[in-house]
Structure 1
C-alpha cells in the first residue's frame, strides 16, 4: 500500500456511527479491518449492524453466529473479550472487514443500503501477499464486492478464490446453525 492509501490497522479503533437521515435512512461508517500482513483468508461482511456499532465490535449482536462459529472452528472460547477474539482471528491468519466504508441504511437492513462507498479493499489485497481466498458473509457482501470493487481490481498474485457463505446474521434463518457451521468450517480449512 502506498503512503497515500489508508493502511489497515491491526488495532480495533472506533466503530461505525449512525446519524439520522431522511426517510428512515441513517448514515453508517465501518470499522477498520482486523488484519495482519500474512493473512491467507479475508472474510467480508457488508456493514456492521446497529448493535455492533453501539458496541464498537464486529458481529456484536448476541444472536449472530459469527463468533460462536469461529470459536468452534478455530478452537477458542467465543466468550473471550472482543480484542482477544480478534487476536484469535489474526493468529489464524484470517482478516475481517466489510465491503462498505460508508452507506445510508435503515437500521441494520442490508436490503435498504444506499449510497454505498467501498472500503479500500484493493489496497488491503495488495498489502496481503499470502491471501488466497475471500469468503463473503452473506449475499449482500458478495453483491457489493462484485459491483463496487471487482471491476477495477487488479490481482497479479495468482488465483484468488471467492466464495459466498451463508450469513451468520440472526436475520438469515433459512438454514440451520449446524449447516452454516459445516459450510464455514469447510471454507476455512
Structure 2
C-alpha cells in the first residue's frame, strides 16, 4: 500500500547573499531536511560532500558551515517548489505544486547560471520559471540516495564540469 499524500510547505527561504553567480535548485525539502530545518538534511544525501569536493573545502557538518560554503563561493541555494502534496520523500509523487518565484530571485541576485539538482527540479523550473528568468537550467543528476545509479565519482565529474566554472576558488 502506498503512503498517503501529505500537504507540505512552505519550504525554506533562499540561502543567498546579495548576489550570486550560480543558483542551485532542489525540488522540495525532504522529510529529514524539514525535521532539521535546513537544506539536504538527510545524511545519505551526497549534496554537501559533493559541494565540498567541487569547492576544495572540508565537508560542512553544521548549518553555519553549510551556509558559509554557499556564501563564500558566491552561490545561492533554493527549491523550485514552495508547497505541494507529496508521498514521503518521492519527488515523482509531487502534485498540486505551488512554485517559488525563482525568476525574481535570479533577477535580484544577478545569477548567471541555474543548476537543478535532479529531473523533478528541472521540470518545475522549466514549467514555471525558465521563461521569466531567461536562463535555461543545467539539469544535473540528483544527489539523493535514491539515485543509486550515480556513484559519487560520477556525480563529482558531472557536477564539477558544470558548476565548477562558477566556483570562486576553482
TM-score by length of 2: 0.89
Q: Secondary structure at the match of 1:164?
A: strand
Q: Report matched runs for 1:83-102 at 5 Å.
A: 83-102=64-83
Q: CA deviation at 1:103?
A: 0.5
By how many angstroms is 1:91 displaced? Answer: 1.1
Take 1:138 and 1:76, find their aligned partners in 2: how far apart are those partners?
23
1:76 corresponds to which of 42, 57, 82:
57
2:167: which partner in 1? none
CA RMSD in angstroms comes to 1.4
Residue 168 (structure 2) aligns with: none
Distance 2:82 2:57 in 1: 29
Moved >4 Å (runs of 4+): none
Which one of 33, 47, 50 corresponds to residue 66 of structure 1?
47
Q: Is 1:24 matched up with 2:7?
A: no
In the TM superposition, residue 161 of structure 1 has moved relative to its aligned partner by: 4.9
Q: Tell which deviates more after alignment, 38-47 or 79-88.
A: 79-88
1:128 is matched with: 109
Q: Which runs of 5+ in 2 are unaligned?
A: 165-170
Q: Secondary structure at the match of 1:186?
A: helix
| 2:154 matched residue in structure 1 | 179
SS in 2 for 1:24: coil
**Contact 1:45–1:99, Cα closer than 8 Å, also in 2:** yes
User: Against the structure 1 CA distance between its residues 63 and 108, is the aligned structure 2 distance closer, same or farther, given a 3 Å change threshold?
Assistant: same
Q: Choose between structure 1 and 2 for higher RCO, CA contacts under 8 A separated by at least 6 residues.
A: 2
Alpha carbons 1:59, 1:66 under 8 Å: kept: yes
Deviates more, 1:77-86 or 1:115-124: 77-86
Match of 1:169 among 144, 157, 161: 144
Equivalence for 1:35: 16
Deviations 1:30-80 (A, max 9, x none): 100111222000000100100000011100101100001111111222243
- Report the TM-score when normalising by structure 1: 0.81
Given the alignment of the two structures, is residue 147 of structure 1 paired with residue 127 of structure 2, yes or no? Answer: yes
Check whether the contact 1:132–1:161 (CA below 8 A) recurs between aligned residues: no
Aligned length: 161
1:119 aligns with 2:103: no
Name the structure with the higher helix share.
Answer: 2
Gaps of 5+ in 1: 1-22
Classify the secondary structure of the residue corresponding to 1:44: strand
